[in-house]
Amino acid sequence: MNKKIVLNTLLGVTMVASLAACGGKTDQPTNTSSSSSTSPAASGPKTKLTYWTIDRHDADYMKEVIKKFNETNKDNIEVEMTVMADNFNQSVDIAFASKQAPDIFRTNDFPGFVKKGYLLPLNDMMTDDMKKRYSNLLIEESNMVDGQIYSLPNTGQYWRLIYNVDLFKKAGITEPPRTIKEMVEDAKKITEAGKDIGAYGFAENFKNPSSAFSRIANPIGSFSGTSVLDGYNYKTGQYDFAAYKPIVEGLRQMKQDGSMLPGVESLDIDPLRAQFAAGKIGMYFNHSGEPAVYQSQFPTKVNWSAALPPTIDGQQTGTVAVANTGNYIGINKETPNKDKAWTFLAYIYNLDFQKEYHEKGLGISIVADVNATAKKPAMPGIEGFLPTKFDALYATTPTGVAETKVEGIKTGNVIIKYMLEGGDLDKILGDLSTRYNTALEKARAAGETKLKADPNFDPGKMQGTLAK
């Protein structure tokens, strides 16, 4: 069996798996090469470029974008897009191993793809204007490594407290909480007022402890000005889970009060959404992908909204860290068509495309001129997620590599155990910090992260960098 057959077999398996996971939707490769009667802008032999993406939510729109590009570009380039939802990183690995990698692809595993030598540096291709446009968004280990830029950002996940307006009114609450204390009190009031319909004040997807805790702790902690994200303190270059003590205490209190949905420790994200759509949950934390969820996957008649997260003491001295922002699309380092691949990237990384993408609600932009000029996205519920001066792009944390070396129980499981059983929280958080710092030193010694202390880091000074 030759390498091409092996690769095609893998892609077929990947897409069959996607089909099964998505309730019967066909997930075949989306071929967007133009076969219409529209003549290309240039004559002569075509240069065909392959583009692989993991994004299925925007596939129909991207098909039209690429069709237009194919018909109008002056270099006779024809881009063919393949969409695959599962095993994307593995497929990319095998494609490179068999010398059949795509010319252009989503940088879904940015640090891994850079380390493996898959990505082409873009510095020399970018114009001065483009470098200036993205200057505030170029971050080490997020879209560049050692000053080499491998990808540029487009959109991000804006984190908010999502709440049921009807349940708030039923409990006599007039606005979302601004402090952890108010959040705990509001959850108790909602639970008491919602007894007749079986509603509870708070929930999170604690079946996945690390995911659940980060959804709560990261937006509250960063907005509170702690300089801590994923437990990592940017100022000191060390882990400091003690900064999360008031947040963890709040979770424990809500659980003791009976304000959390019963069985929350085994609750996954989609069942949580189903319960929220049914009017059984007062509030939870998640990101700007939720409006699309409640428009299509879990249609609801509930009157719901989203607000900036509460802070530890009510002071909004920091910024809310926007997630999954740093990179988007990159170029295969080995493609023989580097300049033409860049022509397509330049077509995507421009104001007109990004404005339309944002306005259609396919993703909320993190690029300043897009947020300054774009119309409000056309999607119900999106308004509460739109960029504010309090949203900011943070550097990556070393948690991904550190956790591979951590000995003992990891953060999420430690927090859930305390939430359910209690204990000496200072000792628990101190032990977490010690173990994670030991793992971090191992990762640094192995050259797996270059992140180090930034004594001048100030989350308050990041206010207004994405939107005024």
Report how far Cα 439 is from the mean position of its chain's Cα atoms. 25
Helix locations, 125-177, DSSP H: 128-133, 165-170
What is the rounded distance in angstroms from the CA atom of residue 282 to the CA atom of residue 312?
A: 20
Rounded alpha-carbon distances, angstroms, from residue 5 to 9, 98, 101, 391: 6, 10, 14, 47
What is the rounded distance in angstroms from the CA atom of residue 228 to the CA atom of residue 118?
A: 31
pTM, two decimals, is 0.81
Is it the case that residue 424 has pLDDT exceeding 70?
A: yes
Percent of the chain with pLDDT over 70: 90
Is it the case that residue 119 has pLDDT exceeding 90?
A: yes
What is the rounded distance in angstroms from the CA atom of residue 18 to the CA atom of residue 14?
A: 6
CATH of 160-322+396-462, one of 3.30.1050.10, 4.10.93.10, 3.40.190.10, 3.40.109.10: 3.40.190.10
Give mean pLDDT, residues 200-208: 97
Asked whether this chain's domains 3-152+327-365 and 160-322+396-462 adopt the same fold, the reply is: yes
* CATH architecture, domain defined by 3-152+327-365: 3-Layer(aba) Sandwich (3.40)
Task: Locate the domains of the chain by residue range.
Answer: 3-152+327-365, 160-322+396-462
Is it the case that residue 42 has pLDDT exceeding 90?
A: no
Give residue 43's pLDDT. 66
What is the rounded distance in angstroms from the CA atom of residue 416 to the CA atom of residue 419?
A: 5
Give residue 289's pLDDT. 87
